[in-house]
């Protein structure tokens, strides 16, 4: 575990490790979480880009998850969040990004195309994840098996509540989403799980030290290769 004193320290440590990946392979394939936790790391990476110490513009980016049923340009679209937080400041052109659709006439085809694009790219080099209060990674809500595919899901009440502050209330949170599957995430060559704050302490402990179970999807990270946990003291309880 990469233990940090606080959130700023966590963001710097994770950004340094991310930048090393991009320096070794400038066109690395990456999955980028949204949510609050990785924002400090993305900002720190933007600082490194501006300082000229790393180039992130050649990364090939795959979306982790998206709300379903909203317009692609809805203010709540997670693609827009990822674009504002990472893609635009890093100069990643849209054609290097594989999206998950918020609307589709044919979700099965869109899902097949997403997983095929990952396979065609040779798999994922680095997957950035946050940890949901119910142990979800991406929007793999419990129960989710280790081989769960990319799919449509109903958000749990717990996840709707945790997403409410993003958009100004529970009634603003879409109830359906599409998520990269567990099998996509767990097959990534490296996985950074970023966890901050005392509210995540119990679920982080369960994910890392509890039974490996579909009830806590993040617990499958215990048996995946290449996992690195970046946690601050509040989350790690250390």
Which of these ranges, 5-13, 98-106, 128-136, 224-232, lies near ligand F6R under the rule CB under 6 A? 128-136
Q: Applying CB under 6 A, does 184 fall inside the site for ligand F6R?
A: no
Q: Which residues pair with 177 in a beta bridge?
A: 67, 153
Which CB atom, from 49 or from 137, has the smaller least distance to ligand F6R? 137
Instruction: Among 62, 139, 220, 230, indicate the residue that binds ligand F6R (CB under 6 A).
Output: 139
Angle at 234 between CA 173 and CA 193, to 5 degrees: 60
134 given a catalytic annotation: yes
Active-site residue, 141 included: yes
Q: Using CA atoms, how far apart are residues 150 and 177, in angstroms rounded to an integer?
A: 11
Cα–Cα distance, 201 to 180 (Å, whole number)? 25
Is the backbone of residue 32 left (phi > 0), alpha (psi -120 to 50) or beta? beta
User: Smallest distance, Å, CB 130 to ligand F6R?
Assistant: 2
Per-residue DSSP letter, 220: G
Q: Which is nearer to ligand F6R, 37 or 188 (CB)?
A: 37
Q: Which residues are catalytic?
A: 65, 134, 136, 141
Binding residues (CB under 6 A) for ligand F6R: these are: 33-37, 64-65, 78, 130-132, 136-139, 162
């Amino acid at each position: 575990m990469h233990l940090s004193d606080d959130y700023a320290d966590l963001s710097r440590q994770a950004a340094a490790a991310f930048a090393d990946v991009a320096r070794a392979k400038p066109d690395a394939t990456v999955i980028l979480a949204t949510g609050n936790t990785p924002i400090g790391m993305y900002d720190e990476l933007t600082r490194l880009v501006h300082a000229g110490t790393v180039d992130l513009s050649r990364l090939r980016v795959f979306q982790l998850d998206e709300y379903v049923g909203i317009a692609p340009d809805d203010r709540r679209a997670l693609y827009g969040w990822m674009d504002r937080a990472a893609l635009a400041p890093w100069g990643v052109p849209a054609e290097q990004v594989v999206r998950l659709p918020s609307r589709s006439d044919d979700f099965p085809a869109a899902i097949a195309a997403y997983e095929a694009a990952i396979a065609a790219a040779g798999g994922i080099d680095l997957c950035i994840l946050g940890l949901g209060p119910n142990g979800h990674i991406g929007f793999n809500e419990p129960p989710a098996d280790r081989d769960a595919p990319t799919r449509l899901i109903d958000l749990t009440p717990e996840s709707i509540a945790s997403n409410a502050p993003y958009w100004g209330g529970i009634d603003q949170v879409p109830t359906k989403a599409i998520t990269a599957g567990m099998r996509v995430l767990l097959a990534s060559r490296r996985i950074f799980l970023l966890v901050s704050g005392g509210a995540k302490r119990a679920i982080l402990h369960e994910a890392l030290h509890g039974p490996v179970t579909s009830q806590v999807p993040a617990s499958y990270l215990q048996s995946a290769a290449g996992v690195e946990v970046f946690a601050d003291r509040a989350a790690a309880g250390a």
